[in-house]
Chains A and B, each alone.
Chain A
Amino acid sequence: MHSVADFKPGDVATIIGFSGGMELQSRLVEMGFVPGVHIRIVKFAPWKGLLELKIRNYHVSIRMNEAKNIMAKRYER
């Protein structure tokens, strides 16, 4: 299993869930990060602190260490 942080810009992935007791998951899931939804990795911020991704037709940025706690698998048609 991969985490969102393992993907590269341009990759499309399917959200599986969260690992650990990450506090942030309540917020992310309210913003639409539910299992089965798809995301596209857009880019890394300068110095690689953040990750920008597209989900549900909007763009959102999260920190890399948070992305590590979001489990996802590569999307294959």
Chain B
Amino acid sequence: MKQKILWQKDMNAKALDQNYVALIGNPNCGKTAIFNQLTGLNQKVSNYPGITVEKKIGKLKSDFDKEINVLDLPGTYSITPESIDERVVAEQVMDWIHGINRPSVIISVVDATNLSRNLYLTTQLLDLDIPVILALNMMDRINDKSVLPDLSNLKDKFGLSAVVPMSALQGRGIDELKNAIQTAIISPKPKKSKMLFSSHLEVHELLNPLVEFLQKQFDYKPRLARVQALRLITRQSVVDLYRPPHTAEHNFDAEIVNEIEKFREDAVRAIEKAGLNHRTLEATIRYTWLDNLLQQSENKEINSLKKKSRSENLDKILTHRIFGPILFITLLVFIFQSIFAWSTYPMEWIDAGVRIFGNYILDIMSTGILRDLIVEGVVGGVGAILIFLPQILILVFFMTLLEDSGYMSRVAFMLDKLMTKVGLHGRSVLPLISGYACAIPGVMAARTIDGWKERLITIMVLPLMSCSARLPVYAIMIGAFIPARKVFGLFNLQGLTFIFMYFLGTFTALVIAKILSKFIKEKGRSSFVMELPPYRIPLMRSVFRQVYTRGKLFLFNAGKIIMAVSIVLWFLASFPKLTTDSTNISNLGQIETVNPIHNSYAGKIGHAIEPIIAPLGFDWKIGVGLITSFAAREVIISTLATLYNIEDDGENMLSLTESLKNDINPKTGQPVFSVLVALSLMVFFVYAMQCMATLAIVKHETNSWKWPAIMFVYMSVLAYVASFIVYQGGTLIGKF
């Protein structure tokens, strides 16, 4: 009984400051749209860059005197966890069952066009002894109201606090929902609903030992004990919810869990002996009850089955076995071309703006260290990165469109067969594609893959997808060194090079996945059950919000790192100042200027590693850039900008492109950069693992240092070898 006291104490401590409602529903039921409508723009976005948060909390926007918070949980079909992302909801519900953090009201969001499957989850929520409001969403898509059941009957039979027909998309029903929340909070006594499976009496007896144990051990109410017993026999994963160690707040002794396990096994055996299927028992009982209640005639069911929706007609082309894949590739090419083409003008404006600003500061401030720091370090470094904002915004814009329209699940559908051939999964496609924006949300999104082996491989190859932090590197190298020629009269050579870099990373990811699948011997089943949601026109408001959020994250979070690195670098590159004469006489008797930067700390570090990277065609400045880019890839750009500005002694602000083109290697008299060096550097960035944040998230998701370590090593080796081949091979070809 020790356990019981533990959580009861918790309940008392937390019950005082609890006044919140929880939103739960199937994936694609419009839950997040309702959340945004309820909270206005007040939602608390994750403080971790670029991650779609698992749970979101916001303040309810209303004129009640009480402050009410809204908790948004990830979409799930059931509170019995099947995949890792569903565990979040299952664990939360486990907390509630044990009196921790119980919400005042649960809002069960259901898609009105798909009632029976959505209400399945609602029936599970009703057992928790918490008032439930049914938010009947997507009413705008119901043309024929006769398909809906009698709502007041539904309310009574389920024992709901309220049923609110609504359309979050059109903003209808939101006020009614707010009122229903208020009413439910003021009168929090839930009406008793019917015991769901009073019909299956033979099952009751078989479950009794387990039920009694749960009642005795955890003080569950009879109804909860019974459904929890049913859930326990459905899946082993439910037993694991009781098992420590745990991220959730409830925690039980291993001994108690072992006892649950024992009772569970007995119950499973008894049920199988009675000729019943323990895996499907809970769902069968609930659906029997539900289907009986909704009473849809067979004719109606068949008619709705045979009806072809707009989405199905669209899919005749979009997932056609030949046109579908072709269209997908075309779309990707179009997106990457657009990133380059659409951003030209905004980038020029930003570039000009930064230069004008830098020169303005040069004018108004008197010469001195502070002016140098601001112009060379801050304006030069941050400005060099700012210029890539348009491209990143365009990329995020397209990624959000693809996801929000419902197209990404079609891509998973089309490509599953190919993905399984290289050891991945159809559901690897979305994480991999979102890796084009940033690896971190991609690694998180890999949670939706239910096979551990496929999930691990997806995570391991994900950083090979060129993320938006590489984009500035490609863009500046291509802009400076690849001629803007038209090829085949249609494509721009610069755009093609750009696409090639993305292709190289993607292709390598698939090859590495295949290799890893041979080595990783994790046993595990893999399956693919995925809903294909109806297509919808993305809400521009929410697309732009996503673009805005990403842009802000890039500017502020990345900006902070870049600013800090730029300042530190400026010091390293500016000191020690040469005290002796900065000129000496070379062998030939010519007067040669030794730029003080060579003697600075940064110069020394760069020169020290130069022998290692010289075979790749890189000089010491690029070397410094490679080191600083471990803070974040894009930092190499600001590093080079800062270094060049200091070298120029801040006489005036040149754009980085011009500085790169003008840079002459003092030893050879040749330009430092050439097409070959640019290619070698880009290939290095395609492969190199230069992102601490990604390594950290991989450690978190795989729960060991082993995988991030392997990731770092294989990617570093790949980067070095590939750049070596590009530069040395290219040089060799050039000789003939």
Q: Which residues of A contact B530 (CB under 8 A)?
A: 60-61
Q: Which of A7-56 contact B (CB under 8 A)?
A: 12, 17-18, 23-32, 34-35, 37-40, 42-50, 52, 54-56
Structural contact, A26 and B306, CB atoms closer than 8 A? no
Q: Which residues of A contact B321 (CB under 8 A)?
A: 44-47
- B404 located at the interface, meaning its Cβ lies under 8 Å from any Cβ of chain A in the complex: no
Structural contact, A59 and B311, CB atoms closer than 8 A? yes
For the complex, give the distance between the alpha carbons of A25 and B282 in Å: 12
| Closest residue on chain B to residue A35 by CB atoms | B284
7 example contacts (A-B, Cβ-Cβ < 8 A) are as follows A25-B279, A34-B283, A45-B414, A49-B426, A54-B312, A56-B114, A57-B113
For the complex, give the distance between the alpha carbons of A15 and B283 in Å: 15
For the complex, give the distance between the alpha carbons of A63 and B288 in Å: 26
Structural contact, B527 and A29, CB atoms closer than 8 A? no
Structural contact, A32 and B417, CB atoms closer than 8 A? no
Q: Which residues of B contact A24 (CB under 8 A)?
A: 527, 529
Knowing A24-B529, A40-B306, A50-B426, the reply to whether A29 touches B284 (Cβ < 8 A) is: yes
Which of B32-40, B75-83, B492-500 forms contacts with chain A? Answer: B75-83
Which of B13-21, B297-305, B463-471, B685-693 forms contacts with chain A? Answer: B297-305
Q: Which residues of B contact A17 (CB under 8 A)?
A: 277
In order of increasing CB-CB distance, the 5 nearest A-B pairs are A49-B417, A29-B283, A47-B417, A46-B321, A29-B280
For the complex, give the distance between the alpha carbons of A38 and B320 in Å: 25
Structural contact, A46 and B324, CB atoms closer than 8 A? yes
- B350 located at the interface, meaning its Cβ lies under 8 Å from any Cβ of chain A in the complex: no
Structural contact, B527 and A61, CB atoms closer than 8 A? no
User: Number of residues in B with C-beta < 8 Å to the partner?
Assistant: 50
Structural contact, B531 and A59, CB atoms closer than 8 A? yes
Structural contact, A12 and B306, CB atoms closer than 8 A? yes
Shortest distance from the beta carbon of A33 to any chain B beta carbon, whole Å: 9
- B319 located at the interface, meaning its Cβ lies under 8 Å from any Cβ of chain A in the complex: yes
For the complex, give the distance between the alpha carbons of A75 and B305 in Å: 12
Which residues of A are in contact with B by a Cβ distance under 8 Å?
12, 17-18, 23-32, 34-35, 37-40, 42-50, 52, 54-63, 66, 75, 77
Structural contact, A40 and B120, CB atoms closer than 8 A? no
Structural contact, A38 and B413, CB atoms closer than 8 A? no
Structural contact, A52 and B413, CB atoms closer than 8 A? yes
The 8 Å CB contact of A23, one of B301, B302, B416, B527, is: B527
| Closest residue on chain B to residue A75 by CB atoms | B302
The 8 Å CB contact of B532, one of A25, A37, A61, A66, is: A61
Q: Which residues of A contact B288 (CB under 8 A)?
A: 34
For the complex, give the distance between the alpha carbons of A30 and B528 in Å: 15
Structural contact, A57 and B304, CB atoms closer than 8 A? yes
Which residues of B are in contact with A by a Cβ distance under 8 Å?
77-78, 80, 82, 113-114, 116-117, 120, 234-235, 277, 279-280, 283-284, 287-288, 291, 298, 301-302, 304-306, 311-312, 315, 319-322, 324-325, 413-414, 416-418, 420, 426, 525, 527-534
Q: Which residues of B contact A66 (CB under 8 A)?
A: 527-529
Given contacts A46-B324, A77-B302, 20 further A-B contacts (CB under 8 A): A24-B527, A27-B529, A30-B78, A31-B531, A32-B117, A32-B287, A34-B288, A37-B291, A39-B305, A42-B312, A45-B417, A46-B417, A47-B418, A50-B413, A59-B311, A59-B531, A62-B527, A63-B527, A63-B528, A66-B529
| Closest residue on chain B to residue A59 by CB atoms | B532
The 8 Å CB contact of A50, one of B279, B287, B298, B416, is: B416
- A39, A50, A58, A77 interface centre (most CB from chain B within 10 Å): A58
| Closest residue on chain B to residue A63 by CB atoms | B528
Knowing A31-B117, A54-B305, A59-B312, the reply to whether A49 touches B531 (Cβ < 8 A) is: no
For the complex, give the distance between the alpha carbons of A34 and B113 in Å: 19
Q: Which residues of A contact B234 (CB under 8 A)?
A: 26
Q: Which residues of B contact A42 (CB under 8 A)?
A: 312
Shortest distance from the beta carbon of A4 to any chain B beta carbon, whole Å: 12
Q: Which residues of A contact B114 (CB under 8 A)?
A: 56-58
Structural contact, B305 and A30, CB atoms closer than 8 A? no
For the complex, give the distance between the alpha carbons of A5 and B417 in Å: 16
Q: Which residues of B contact A32 (CB under 8 A)?
A: 116-117, 120, 287
For the complex, give the distance between the alpha carbons of A50 and B434 in Å: 23
Shortest distance from the beta carbon of B477 to any chain A beta carbon, whole Å: 36
Knowing A18-B280, A44-B321, the reply to whether A30 touches B80 (Cβ < 8 A) is: yes
Knowing A50-B528, A59-B532, A66-B529, the reply to whether A45 touches B413 (Cβ < 8 A) is: yes
Structural contact, A38 and B529, CB atoms closer than 8 A? no
Structural contact, B324 and A38, CB atoms closer than 8 A? no
The 8 Å CB contact of B82, one of A26, A49, A58, A63, is: A26
Structural contact, A23 and B528, CB atoms closer than 8 A? no
Structural contact, B283 and A26, CB atoms closer than 8 A? yes
The 8 Å CB contact of A46, one of B298, B306, B312, B325, is: B325
For the complex, give the distance between the alpha carbons of A77 and B298 in Å: 10
Shortest distance from the beta carbon of A54 to any chain B beta carbon, whole Å: 6
Structural contact, B301 and A38, CB atoms closer than 8 A? yes
For the complex, give the distance between the alpha carbons of A26 and B234 in Å: 7
Structural contact, B420 and A40, CB atoms closer than 8 A? no
| Closest residue on chain B to residue A46 by CB atoms | B321
For the complex, give the distance between the alpha carbons of A45 and B322 in Å: 10
Structural contact, B280 and A60, CB atoms closer than 8 A? no
For the complex, give the distance between the alpha carbons of A21 and B291 in Å: 26
Structural contact, A61 and B302, CB atoms closer than 8 A? no
Q: Which residues of B contact A28 (CB under 8 A)?
A: 529
For the complex, give the distance between the alpha carbons of A27 and B527 in Å: 10
Q: Which residues of A contact B120 (CB under 8 A)?
A: 30, 32
Structural contact, B284 and A30, CB atoms closer than 8 A? no
For the complex, give the distance between the alpha carbons of A76 and B531 in Å: 26
